[in-house]
Structure 1
Amino acid sequence: MHVRSLPALALCVAGLSVSHCAWAQTSVTLYGLVGLDMASSKRSGGPPATLMQQAPGLTAPYWGIKTAEDLGGGTRAIAVLESFFQPDTGGMGRTSADPFWGRNSYVGLEGRFGKLTFGRHTNLMYLGEQTLNPFQASILFSPLVMQTFVASYGGAIAGDTVWNDGIQYSSPNLNGLKATAVYALGGKPGAPGIYNTAASLHYTSGAFTAVATVQRNRIVAGAAAPSQDAYLAGAAYDFTWLKLYGAIQGTRTNATDIGSHTYEVGASVPLTAQLSLLGEWANTRRTAPRGVATTRNTAAAGLDYAFSKRTDVYAVSVYDRQSGGATAMTYALGIRHLF
């Protein structure tokens, strides 16, 4: 929806049949995703399988508001406010620990020079992973995301999938190449060296996509933490009848000399115009001083059926096994709806 005043926004939101209201060169858009699934969930080395209704599914549910104002000369003022929520319980956030605008909340300028924004941004490493696996952003079904960002699966990367206090710049698209860098202030009095920083390159040419990302993390859950360096590199190629994905990721926590290496491959196959087969496998090997090492293998397979461009249903199974643990399986049936 497009508006130029808060009263107008209230009228547009109240009139649910109205999707867009427009005046002059200012716009406000309301959007989001609702999704959940029924799952029997079990991870290797974890508690017994539990039958539950869970909200993250293939995509964590969210809603958002974005606004843009044309300032002339090809420049726009922009702002984004996005909030996670839990449709199974009605709760806000992914968990109660999330802030209200937990997904993104930033303001900035966009134009021929690129985009410069200030605030809370989705982590560049997490965005890169979404491009390099068929399950995209899923923290429950993408083995790559699970093994690197989910604590219960050994989460190799320190910190959250969203960073606070960021100053982020994205370049214009230069013949398929786009660069992004972020510096996230620590805000710690007397500790100017406490910050998070990351940079990424994203290249697309026809059916080929490549991603490279590096980051240094010094802040976890709002507090100073040991410095961790991480990298991600990978590519995807769409043959039309088959799309292949591959990635390698590594971390090193400098204070403890603990590191990890993750390798991932995936594929998606359009069986019909509406039905796709998804598959992915990831292996993470974590090393610690004195040669101690552990490994984890996680694989996922699923079917995704699109009723339309906005609504789909899916069935997914996940295999998981870590060093010293038994094999565990997860099964889920879910639905997603975009608005």
Structure 2
Amino acid sequence: MSLKKAPKKANLNTTFSLGAVAAASLVFGPSLAHAQSSVTLYGIADVGVEFLNNTTAGGSQVREVSGNLSGSRWGLKGVEDLGGGMKAIFQLENGFNINDGTTAQSTRGLGANATTTSRLFGRQAWVGLSYKGQQLTLGRQNALIYEQSIVFDPMGVSSRYSALSLDYALAARIDNSVKYTGKFGPVTAQAMYSTRYDTGYGAEVPGALITGRFFSGALTYASGPVAATAVYEQRNSNTVATNTSTERRALAAASYNFGPVTAYAGYRYLRASNAFLPTNPITVANGSEANAANLYWLGAQYLITPSFQLTAAGYYHDVHSTGADPWLAVLNADYFLSKRTDLYATVAYAHNKDNSALGVNGYGTVAAGHNQTGVTVGLRQKF
């Protein structure tokens, strides 16, 4: 069964047959004639105007921003039929900022630990084989927890005002990875392993195999109106001196469809060692950090008409050993001008307590102890 969400989450792709393959088969003989290949060019251009109050610099801000409901991107994906049910597959996906034309996914890590890498295809870059419901791929790929968050977060871990505001890893990509996906009726099983999940911190280290290691597993069930998932992942620190330090996550989520309404519920567990690098600080008071937290969310999408959809979501962060437990509320209205183009407006409110510093776009984006309101109005076009 498909786990695709309401129409606003879908991509519309324009597929081009590789005429060059057909021409080459005439030149180089029958050895190429049996292979049927295609490449799909696709993308999303998403841009809007955002208002924020209580910024870290003080006062309010109005700015043009790219990638609000969907990260702006363009990509190529292809398939070649090798015969006997076997297919070769690939995907290359570039992220960009449509408001200024710069590439995205170049900065990794947080704060003083942030690094910059040159990524032409920063969203995805992988190649693999598929065979009768089984798939094995290698390269830079979406983390399993990201794939499931897209489906089970009411806001689809959108770039602004979603579960991503509370945990960067819910939209993570993993370098140097191998991923297995197997479909068994209504159940999908996945496993993923990386020898160095973020090459912004360098290549694999000889004699230190666990430095930057990543592994993950997921089970997903979908049948009729019901879908549910469970995911676990673990990362080792990216430095040799701290490579036994880890960051561990577990996610459980479910959805249920009531005709025009789909309801969502989710939970994420997080625990990180104090020496983990890159850090994932949960800022609770004047820059202090906690290394464990529970994240809960509830939400719903209501397709009022085929052209108009409302989404509401609430996120609560229970930070361990502190009273600094902020929450985020989001309301989105999406009007579809066509299957490819929509206009949207999103309002979010982040509430902080005990000097926590959650902004609508993430921790550290609001003055500590202050609440924040964000409003974005934008246009999205898929191709």
Question: In 2, Cα distance between the equivalents of 1:222 and 1:129?
Answer: 31
Which runs of 5 or more residues in structure 1 are unaligned?
Answer: 9-21, 150-156
Question: In 2, Cα distance between the equivalents of 1:113 and 1:65?
Answer: 22
1:126–1:145 contact (8 Å) kept in structure 2: no
Query: What letter corresponds to residue 308 of structure 2 in structure 1?
Result: L
1:67 aligned residue: 78
Query: What letter corresponds to residue 17 of structure 2 in structure 1?
Result: H
Deviation at 1:272, TM superposition (A): 1.6
1:336 aligned residue: 380
Deviation at 1:211, TM superposition (A): 1.2
Number of equivalenced pairs: 314
Which runs of 5 or more residues in structure 2 are unaligned?
Answer: 1-15, 24-32, 108-115, 197-203, 276-289, 356-368
Alignment of 1:1-339 (within 5 A): 1-3=16-18, 5=20, 25-42=36-53, 47-95=58-106, 97=116, 99-112=119-132, 114-142=134-162, 144-149=163-168, 157=169, 161-172=172-183, 174-186=184-196, 187-194=204-211, 195-219=213-237, 226-255=245-274, 258-287=291-320, 291-323=321-353, 324=355, 325-339=369-383
2:105–2:123 contact (8 Å) kept in structure 1: no
After superposition, the Cα gap between the structure-2 partners of 1:191 and 1:311, relative to the gap in structure 1 and judged at 3 Å, is same
Question: In 2, Cα distance between the equivalents of 1:115 and 1:329?
Answer: 43
After superposition, the Cα gap between the structure-2 partners of 1:326 and 1:313, relative to the gap in structure 1 and judged at 3 Å, is same
2:35–2:80 contact (8 Å) kept in structure 1: no
Question: In 2, Cα distance between the equivalents of 1:74 and 1:146?
Answer: 41
2:208–2:240 contact (8 Å) kept in structure 1: no
1:19 aligned residue: none
SS of 1:92's partner is coil
Name the TM-score, length of structure 2 as normaliser. Answer: 0.76
2:157–2:171 contact (8 Å) kept in structure 1: no
Identity across the alignment (%): 26
After superposition, the Cα gap between the structure-2 partners of 1:190 and 1:48, relative to the gap in structure 1 and judged at 3 Å, is farther
Question: In 1, Cα distance between the equivalents of 2:239 and 2:68?
Answer: 24
Deviates more, 1:90-99 or 1:235-244: 90-99
After superposition, the Cα gap between the structure-2 partners of 1:307 and 1:104, relative to the gap in structure 1 and judged at 3 Å, is same
2:112 aligned residue: none
Deviation at 1:49, TM superposition (A): 2.5
RMSD: 2.7
SS of 1:303's partner is strand
Deviation at 1:222, TM superposition (A): 12
Deviation at 1:34, TM superposition (A): 0.6
Which structure has more strand as a fraction of its residues? 1
Question: In 2, Cα distance between the equivalents of 1:113 and 1:222?
Answer: 39
SS of 1:305's partner is strand
Question: In 1, Cα distance between the equivalents of 2:239 and 2:345?
Answer: 33
